[in-house]
A = this chain, B = another copy of it.
Amino acid sequence: VDREHAAREVAAAAGDDAVVPARELDRYAPDSSGAPSARPLAAVRPLDASGVARVLAAASRLRVPVVPAGGRSGLAGGANADGASVVLSLDRLDRIGAVETGNLRLTAGAGARTCDVQAAALAAGLFYPPDPASLDRSTIGGNVATNAGGPRCFKYGVTAEYVLALEAVTADGRIFRTGAATRKNTAGPRLAQLLVGSEGTLAVITEATLRLVAAPAARLAATARFDSLERAGAAVAAVVASGLVPSAIELLDRTCLELIGLSGDAMLLLEVDGPDAARVRADLEALARGLRDAGADALATASDPGAVDELWRARRGLSDAFAAAAPDHLFQDICVPAAAVPDALRGIAVIAARHGLAVPVFGHAGDGNLHSTVLYDAAAGEADAAQAAEADVLRLALELGGTIAAEHGVGLLKRPFLARAVDPVALELMRAVKAALDPNGILNPGKVLP
């Protein structure tokens, strides 16, 4: 009862119009991961950074756990509420400032949707490259807090490389700015880059100034099917070594292909973009030659935007195919050194066979970022096997010199594995940093650090 009273006081600090009605609270419990969640004690949707600051000041004083949330599209449970927390939704901080074309940047509120930021940049002839799959729902604040990736990272890098400066609020409710809205900055410790990927555990991001690049004038794509994973892996290595830098190198394995009605052991989907059509066409032709030399069976190229979208459709249809194929799933987000991709794919196939479960794999092969998905039926008693299979996949990633979380963060789901992935001394330093920035432990407790 005391906790409920405290939560109400924290919520009230946001202002009456910012408190979510009790009947809507269930919507503020889960993200998109399927990780455990519970209806929070309260949820607030402040209008601005001042509102965020008032909420955090009250939460800090009353020691009420706060769960920052954006578009709730995360896949690790990072924004999931429990029954003791107040959800702090940043979705109303969705202002997108004018695109500064001369300075190649824009400033967006944490609640601005990724797709809207991309559209604003494009309307000014510029480009915001990070493209997480959920970009129609995900927010810039969430993208920054998880250091979101996407297919285009092979050429353009992850969200961190586009964050110039941040506005954020400390655990005890003080608004601050950090970073500089310039391409280079070495004025003091890199606090802004520490907040990137911190999943709401160190401060609450309210606004980001983002670097933009010139928009590519042309974009073409190709798919190539292979009769062995080895050949597909070798083709990826050949492309990477060629010096050509496709904007995406996506891989789908046999199980994925089966689920979407295609044959073959592996398919690559490659996209190239650039400042002029002739050059992009030349790149695509060079790519196609390389893929043929690497043993591609069937090669399809797309020479107009509609055809490019068509090639991506299969890739985008995977989530639905997984959902249709099994009632439950566990999603992995490993990254291995590029040369270890074939080993990882073979290893995952062995794990799937060992546990008697389907584990389709797709991913951003150029980066070594593989998304395996353990398909299972909890009602049929497969939950334990599924969890064992996930643990095996994460162990495999570490054995291959990789990481257990590439572009979706740790959240709740990967937290039990973090101590295995991080050096124990480094983990101690991470805890010291957390204690320094959130001494009362109210920011997203129970997430990320074990």
Query: What per-residue 1/0 map shows which CB atoms of A79-117 lie under 8 Å from chain B?
Result: 000000000000000000000111111000000000000
The distance in angstroms between the C-alpha atoms of A242 and B241, with both chains bound, is: 28
Least distance between A107 CB and chain B CB atoms (Å): 11
Query: Cβ of A437: which chain B residues have Cβ within 8 Å of it?
Result: 429, 432-433
**Cross-chain contact A369 with B432 (CB below 8 angstroms):** no
The distance in angstroms between the C-alpha atoms of A216 and B245, with both chains bound, is: 12
The distance in angstroms between the C-alpha atoms of A189 and B435, with both chains bound, is: 13
A388 within 8 A of B: no
Of the 9-residue stretches A171-179, A257-265, A311-319, which lies at the interface with chain B?
A171-179
Query: Cβ of A147: which chain B residues have Cβ within 8 Å of it?
Result: 186, 190
- For residue A336, which residue of chain B has the nearest CB? B182
* Interface set, chain A 188-209, CB cutoff 8 A to B: 188-191, 193-194, 196-198, 201-203
**Cross-chain contact B198 with A423 (CB below 8 angstroms):** no
Query: Cβ of A404: which chain B residues have Cβ within 8 Å of it?
Result: 187
Of the 9-residue stretches A22-30, A42-50, A292-300, A408-416, which lies at the interface with chain B?
A408-416
The residue that A191 contacts in the complex, of B157, B187, B429, with Cβ under 8 A, is B429
**Cross-chain contact B198 with A189 (CB below 8 angstroms):** yes
**Cross-chain contact B275 with A402 (CB below 8 angstroms):** no
**Cross-chain contact A187 with B410 (CB below 8 angstroms):** yes
Least distance between A247 CB and chain B CB atoms (Å): 14
- For residue A146, which residue of chain B has the nearest CB? B186
The distance in angstroms between the C-alpha atoms of A242 and B101, with both chains bound, is: 11
**Cross-chain contact A186 with B405 (CB below 8 angstroms):** yes
**Cross-chain contact B197 with A186 (CB below 8 angstroms):** yes
A335 within 8 A of B: yes
A379 within 8 A of B: no
The residue that A436 contacts in the complex, of B104, B333, B433, B449, with Cβ under 8 A, is B433
The residue that A185 contacts in the complex, of B170, B189, B202, B403, with Cβ under 8 A, is B403
Residues of A whose CB lies within 8 Å of any CB of B are 100-105, 125, 146-147, 149, 153-154, 157-158, 160-161, 170, 174-178, 180-191, 193-194, 196-198, 201-203, 214-217, 237, 240-245, 275, 279, 282, 333, 335-340, 364, 367-369, 401-410, 414, 418, 421-427, 429-430, 432-437, 448-449
Query: Can you pick out 21 interface pairs between chain A and chain B where the beta carbons lie within 8 Å of each other?
Result: A102-B237, A104-B240, A154-B183, A178-B426, A182-B336, A182-B403, A184-B335, A184-B364, A186-B403, A186-B407, A186-B409, A188-B421, A189-B197, A189-B201, A191-B426, A214-B241, A215-B243, A279-B282, A432-B436, A433-B433, A435-B436
